[in-house]
């Protein structure tokens, strides 16, 4: 069984959003087109409370896109994004959802960010995605969505560690920072990941 994991295709990560990824909207048609090729399609959704510690606005003198230590973990401080119930947190209306069996929300614990669709960054809690996929007999996962150098990369790395044959859909993702993504791609390949 093969699954497609669609990561965070949410309004705030698309052009016009508060944490937009350049050309992020250009991957949606491709993602819509490939969904029917998979036995199982799931999505993840960044879903933060307003007082989430990943927001620069919740730190005294917090500066966006700088890194600080939050509860012992390096944390990039982001602009407010994907606030629970807001328009920015909604999955894009351009994303076809009729193949999506389940949406796994992440980033709800104010103390810790959650880039991966499987675990928070401190590995304190699982989203249930691994159990869902394993129960359905999934052995191979393909990951697409936003952003390539953060949530897609960390979801893919966790998938490898959890024993899935794992690939990133090259044309189904866009990075925030191209150079950072280049380095992370190498790390992913070293761990046994591939690209489709």
Give the residues lining the site for Zn ion (CB under 5 A).
46, 107
What is residue 36's DSSP assignment? G
Which is closer to Zn ion, CB of 18 or CB of 126?
18
Specify the residue for token string 């199982």: 40
Q: In the complex, what is the shortest distance from the CB of residue 114 to Zn ion, in angstroms, rounded to a whole number? A: 7
Which among 8, 46, 130, 149 is annotated as catalytic?
8
- Please tell me which residue in 106, 174, 184, 185 is annotated as part of the active site: 106
Q: Is 177 a catalytic residue?
A: no
- The label of the residue with tokens 């093969």 reads 2
Q: Could you give phi then psi for residue 29, rounded to 5 degrees?
A: -60, -45
- Please state, in angstroms and as integers, the Cα–Cα distance from residue 120 to each residue in 60, 63, 98, 115, 178, following that order: 24, 22, 27, 7, 24
Q: How far is the CB of 82 from Zn ion (least distance, A)?
A: 5
Identify whether 151 is a catalytic site residue: yes
> Closest CB to Zn ion belongs to which residue?
46
Least distance between Zn ion and beta carbon 125 (Å): 15
Instruction: Kindly name the residue from 82, 120, 151, 184 that is annotated as catalytic.
Output: 151
Instruction: Please indicate whether residue 96 is annotated as part of the active site.
Output: no
DSSP single-letter state for residue 91: B
- Taking every pair of Cα atoms in the chain, the longest distance, rounded to a whole number of angstroms, is 48
Catalytic residues: 8, 106, 151
């Amino acid at each position: 069984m093969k699954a497609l994991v669609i990561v965070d295709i949410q309004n705030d990560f698309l052009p016009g959003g508060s944490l937009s990824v350049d050309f992020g909207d250009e991957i949606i048609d491709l993602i819509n087109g490939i969904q029917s090729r998979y036995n199982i399609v799931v999505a993840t959704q960044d879903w933060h409370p307003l007082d989430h510690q990943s927001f620069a606005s919740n730190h005294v003198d917090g500066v966006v896109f700088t890194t600080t230590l939050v509860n012992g973990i390096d944390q990039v401080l982001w602009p407010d994004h994907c606030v629970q119930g807001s328009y920015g947190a909604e999955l894009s209306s351009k994303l076809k959802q009729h193949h999506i069996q389940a949406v796994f929300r992440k980033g709800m614990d104010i103390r810790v960010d959650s880039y991966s669709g499987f675990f928070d960054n401190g590995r304190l809690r699982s989203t249930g995605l691994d159990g869902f996929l394993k129960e359905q007999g999934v052995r191979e996962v393909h990951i697409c969505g936003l952003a390539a150098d953060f949530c897609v990369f960390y979801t893919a790395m966790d998938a490898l560690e959890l024993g899935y044959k794992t690939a990133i859909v090259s044309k189904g993702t866009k990075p925030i920072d191209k150079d950072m993504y280049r380095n992370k791609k190498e790390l992913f390949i070293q761990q046994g990941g591939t690209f489709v």
